Amino acid sequence: MSTLFCYAIEMTQLCQVDWLNAIRSYRLGGLILGFGFLWSDIVAYTLGGLFGYALERYRI
């Protein structure tokens, strides 16, 4: 679920609508929503999600 949430946040970065950009203009909004889409972020979220799953599943 957390990985899907991160994907959703990353996808909002593809939408450059006025009301989302207004939220991004504030410091907290920019930290939460980000500013630009990067495929490397998707890879990082996927690897982090898999690592977290492994920790929970196998109790490493």
- Please give the tally of structural domains in the chain: 1
* pTM of structure: 0.79
- Please give the residue range of the domain that contains residue 33: 2-58
- 35 φ/ψ angles, rounded to the nearest 5 degrees: -125, -35
Q: Beta-strand (E) ranges in the chain? A: none
Q: CA 20 to CA 52: how far, in whole Å?
A: 30
Local confidence band at 39 (pLDDT 50, 70, 90 cut-offs): very high
C-beta of residue 6 within 8 angstroms of C-beta of residue 44: no
Q: Are 23 and 29 in contact (CB under 8 A)?
A: yes
Is the pLDDT reported for residue 35 higher than 70?
yes
**Residue 60: band (very low, low, confident or very high) from pLDDT cuts 50, 70, 90:** low
